[in-house]
Chain A
Amino acid sequence: MKAVFHTGLIQSWTASLGDIPWPLLPVGNRPFLEYWFEVCIDLGIKDVRLILGEGAEFVEAYAREGAPWGLSITYSFLKEGRSPDSFLRRSPNVWEDGLFYLCAPVFLYRLSDSGEVPRFRGGTFVHQGQDGAVNGLLSDNPEFLRTFIANPEAAPAASSFEMLKFRPSRINSVKEYFDLNMSVVGPEAKHYLRPGYSVKDDVSIGFNVILPPSVTITPPVAIGNNCRLGAMTSVGPLAVVGNHTIIDRQTELSECVILDGTYVGSGLEIRGKIVVGNRLIDPGSGVVAEIDDPLLVAPVRSVVQWGDVLRAVFGWLCAVLFVLSQAVPFAVLYPLVKVSRKGRFRKTSVHLGRGRVGPLFEFVPCPGRISGLANLFQALNLDLFPGFCRVLTGQIWLCGVKPVRSPEEDSLRRQVREYFPGVIVIDTDERDYAEPGGHLAHALFYARFRSLFSDVRMVLTLIFSRPLKFLSAREPIKG
């Protein structure tokens, strides 16, 4: 039997919870995804396939090959615009031995008193959402699986997960996420919380936690690893404190979730709220307050990513050199190209960096009029001159992915949290971008593997490849 988990589907409700991908959002004192792995262990499933999307690098870095859970985890990417079950259809025979499939953030509550799962003795169990769509299934019936994979809506009725002593619950909002935490850390904590340093009397405390004697802990409470609590702090009841958090002195935490890497200032009272970095969330109303005051709440870790700072400096310096060296050739050649109607710049509205939308000039050679002049213009990279000027303003990166058009590709932009629109793009072949899911795949790929080294390589490729192509073949230059 194999397990297939979709972790890449965008869940809009997680936007206010920061940059943590939803599979890694903490529930109790560990990530959501780990509860799925535990169910696999209980069901005797070792072969797990994770379908990645947004936040792929974080999910992969966390789960790796699955060794900590005794699982064998492999990965695939979610293709843009495709339904989750389309992945199963790519090789339908592979799943006929049995399939455990989850394609939404569904938490499987354990219904048995001991929290243990009865041995799986075969059968088919399905969980459907309120809209009738299948959120999860477990089956070893090849006939059912064949029908389901071919057409999920035509699949015959099946038993519910309750028969297996599970109660699936899909998380659709911040409020439901908050309630899940409160129930997991509540009276049934022993079913869900990982022991850590101590799990008795409904208190789970992780490793390397500094607890002065004056701290008051009122169960049930879950405290993660590497935390520091100040003197006279009061924690609980129903408090979830994530990893790498600092709670300053005389602060009271109850019925709250403090996400990983958060500092909570001294003398505060956090009740009925979620705190993530400098963000305060009221789960009931959904109101989010960004507090730019490090005396109250703040992220513990530096938000500056030094790799990106280096890339920005490198890109800006290169753009200065490009602009200085291209200004005269551009001033001479572009009027000639335009007057002879060999090509022109087209203004396109695109998503720039920092959430802005603005125009970008894209060179379009006139069809049927490709000539030596237009080729020379592109061979000298003069078609990128307006883009290099834009890099100087800091609105776009020198190297990155092809900017997403607005409003045509707004949905694509929403699927990419780490977005690096660039003048020099990772793949200049238009066909790759035009392929279904191609643009998203490029954006995710670059976000995952971006580095100063890759940017240097892209710049060198640009400088040498086009002139060489022009000199050797005199082919029309694309891109």
Chain B
Amino acid sequence: MNVQFEERGAVGVVTPQESMTADNVDSLRDQFVDWLGRTGGMTNVVVNLAKVDFMDSSGLGTLIALLKRVSERGGDLKIACLPKKVRMVFEITRAHKIFEIADSVDEAVKLSQ
């Protein structure tokens, strides 16, 4: 899975470039763990879902696993740019009650600082 990682000050922004399904979320998790290990002091993360047009239960499970990993470091994981179709999946699974969701990456970064 193609994932972009960038650092905006003390906040990391993760941008998956395609759908998050059972076929590819293992790769996302591995890359995320790798990247988090390399950025020692980073605690807060924003996941930008603008390019994710579909997410299944495995994708949601991975996001929750990432949230847990970030929380263990004392940080927080926020979601930005949730497309309407993915938002519907968040709503029916109640994931929107677990994550803090922002309309844009900038807003999510500001909330994380």
Contact = CB atoms under 8 A, between A and B. Distances in A.
Contact of B91 (A269, A290, A292, A297): A269
B85 A296 contact: no
B92 A268 contact: yes
Contacts of B54: 289-292
A106 B39 CA distance: 62
A273 B88 contact: yes
A289 B19 CA distance: 13
A213 to B, nearest CB: 24
A271 B91 contact: yes
B110 interface: no
A296 B84 contact: no
B106 interface: no
B56 A291 contact: yes
Interface stretch (A182-190, A280-288, A318-326, A341-349): A280-288
A295 interface: yes
Contacts of A289: 54, 84-86, 88-89
Nearest to B94: A269
Given A282-B88, A285-B84, A289-B88, A296 B57 contact: yes
Contacts of A280: 88-89, 92
B98 to A, nearest CB: 12
B82 to A, nearest CB: 12
Chain A CB count within 10 A is highest, among B54, B58, B88, for B88
A296 B88 contact: no
Contacts of A290: 54
B88 A293 contact: no
B93 to A, nearest CB: 6
Given A269-B94, A292-B54, A296-B56, A287 B89 contact: no
Contacts of A149: none
Nearest to A269: B94
A204 to B, nearest CB: 24
A293 B92 CA distance: 13
Query: How many interface residues does chain B have, given as a range?
Result: 10 to 19
A287 B88 contact: yes
Contacts of A282: 84, 88
Interface residues of A, number: 20
Contact of B92 (A285, A287, A288, A296): A296
A293 B89 CA distance: 11
A273 B89 CA distance: 11
Contacts of A227: none
B67 to A, nearest CB: 17
A125 B85 CA distance: 44
Interface string A263-278: 0010111110100000
A269 B88 contact: no
Interface centre among B21, B56, B86 (most CB of A within 10 A): B56
A287 B56 CA distance: 17
Contacts of A296: 56-57, 89, 92-93
Nearest to A256: B92
B88 A295 contact: no
Interface string A177-195: 0000000000000000000
Sorted nearest first, the 7 A-B pairs with minimum C-beta distance are A293-B56, A289-B85, A295-B57, A287-B84, A289-B88, A268-B92, A269-B94
26 contacts: A268-B92, A269-B91, A269-B92, A269-B93, A269-B94, A270-B92, A273-B92, A280-B88, A285-B84, A287-B88, A288-B85, A289-B85, A289-B86, A289-B88, A289-B89, A290-B54, A291-B54, A292-B56, A293-B21, A293-B56, A293-B57, A296-B56, A296-B57, A296-B92, A296-B93, A297-B92
Interface of B: 21, 54, 56-58, 84-86, 88-89, 91-94
Interface of A: 265, 267-271, 273, 280, 282, 285, 287-293, 295-297
Given A267-B94, A280-B92, A289-B86, 17 more contacts: A265-B57, A268-B94, A269-B93, A270-B92, A271-B91, A273-B92, A280-B88, A280-B89, A282-B88, A285-B84, A288-B85, A291-B56, A293-B57, A295-B56, A296-B56, A296-B57, A297-B92
